[in-house]
Chain A
Amino acid sequence: MKALIVDDSRFMRAHLRQLLERMGVECSEAGDGHDALERLRAEEGFDFMLLDVNMPRMNGLECVKTLRKAKLHPAMKVMMVTTESDNWCIETSLTDGADEFLMKPFTPESLHEKLAMLGLAA
């Protein structure tokens, strides 16, 4: 299993990486939506992406919309992982192509449960 972690916080990327690697997931990182799209254009084989919303250059909502329009990695699951919690933001991200939404702060259990909902964890 291979994941792309997209967050402008180095601390958050390291935290998510640690949790995912414990589950046996191979991780790559990107610091904003623009970097993430470049990475996804250049590299194959991602099973899922954890995507922050508020980031410089390109935010997570624009990123997922562009990704789905361009049909990049069409089978890849996208889960927003963000401090945003308005129903509007959740609905918009789901409409634009995200598969699930996890609010920060989160527990390791809630990350695992959400991945299980997407068929990405047992």
Chain B
Amino acid sequence: MIVLRKTDLLGELMPAQRERAPGLDAYVGTLRIDGAVHLHRSMAEATSLHETSFFRERETFDLLRDTILPRLIANNAAQRRLRIWSAAASTGQEAYSVAMLLREHFAELADWDVRIIGTDLSREAIEYARRGCYRRLEVNRGLPARMLVKHLAREGDEWQIDPGLRSMCEFTQADLCAPVPELPRFDLVLLRNVLLQLPQREVGGVFTRVYGQMNPNGVLILGSAEQAEDWTGLFHTQPGGRCWYYRPRTDA
């Protein structure tokens, strides 16, 4: 359980905004009166969780390796193109984990057009993801040592993702609760551990936007504690080992 104290919350807000509204009550008052979009955005950024790690929920990556990616690769063999969306990318570990998985297990993609696009609400997280440099506590989380030495190079106190993997990934800021920026149609969407952070009234809109960005044969993956079918009729639920995944309904 995460408890956010008033002082923590204010500490996350931009200094100028703190000056403008000293104290949480005054800040909430400013949000109500002012209604400025940038204030709402910084509030959302301050209250979002950026908990992530390499290969988080390993069973999902097993499902990708054993079932989903082989099927997507077979489906796309004619175009030789794969588009993957890490839709709540945070600081980039998920996108880079997928890149490592592709590099390790799908050598046939070497001459394919593969793009992994990470989006997140937080500008700060996106900047971090673009750098592709991780600290000791981050590379200790979820990343097998064999893969660490193979795919990351030591740079001072940090580890830098291999340039080849970085070139597969791009990161851009996007708010899932607003119209999405210019993005391609995706074959695979990872939307993990973000729905539980959203107000219930926003969830249907997020699913509709994600559905609109997917190829008809695409696959949506949620976090292990999240479900899609309770909220919309847009996706078929499919069992996959110890997880579930979702395919867009063509009759939706």
Known: A94-B146, A100-B145, A101-B145. Is A86-B154 also a contact (CB below 8 A)?
Answer: yes
B212 within 8 A of A: no
B137 within 8 A of A: yes
B58 within 8 A of A: yes
Q: Which of A102-122 contact B (CB under 8 A)?
A: 102-103, 105-107, 109-110, 113-114, 116-117
- What's the Cα separation between A100 and B147 when bound, in Å? 11
- What's the Cα separation between A114 and B53 when bound, in Å? 12
Instruction: Determine if B141 and A109 form an interchain contact, defined as CB atoms under 8 angstroms apart.
Output: yes
Q: Which of A76-109 contact B (CB under 8 A)?
A: 85-87, 90-91, 94, 100-103, 105-107, 109
Known: A90-B149, A91-B149, A94-B146. Is A85-B136 also a contact (CB below 8 A)?
Answer: yes
Which residues of chain A are near B142, meaning CB under 8 Å? 113
Instruction: Determine if B141 and A85 form an interchain contact, defined as CB atoms under 8 angstroms apart.
Output: no
B153 within 8 A of A: yes
A77 to chain B, nearest CB (A): 13
Instruction: Determine if A106 and B144 form an interchain contact, defined as CB atoms under 8 angstroms apart.
Output: no
- What's the Cα separation between A92 and B139 when bound, in Å? 18
- What's the Cα separation between A106 and B139 when bound, in Å? 10
Chain A interface residue number, banded: 10 to 19
Report how many residues on chain B are interfacial, defined by Cβ distance under 8 Å.
15
Instruction: Determine if A107 and B140 form an interchain contact, defined as CB atoms under 8 angstroms apart.
Output: yes
A-contact bits for B128-156, CB 8 A (1 contact / 0 none): 00000000110111101110110001100
Known: A94-B145, A101-B145. Is A87-B154 also a contact (CB below 8 A)?
Answer: yes
A-contact bits for B51-74, CB 8 A (1 contact / 0 none): 001000010000000000000000
Instruction: Determine if A90 and B140 form an interchain contact, defined as CB atoms under 8 angstroms apart.
Output: no
A-B contact pairs, 16 of them (CB 8 A): A86-B154, A87-B149, A87-B154, A90-B149, A94-B145, A101-B145, A102-B140, A105-B137, A106-B137, A107-B140, A107-B141, A109-B141, A113-B141, A113-B142, A114-B140, A117-B144
Seen from chain B, the residues whose Cβ lies within 8 Å of a Cβ on chain A are: 53, 58, 136-137, 139-142, 144-146, 148-149, 153-154
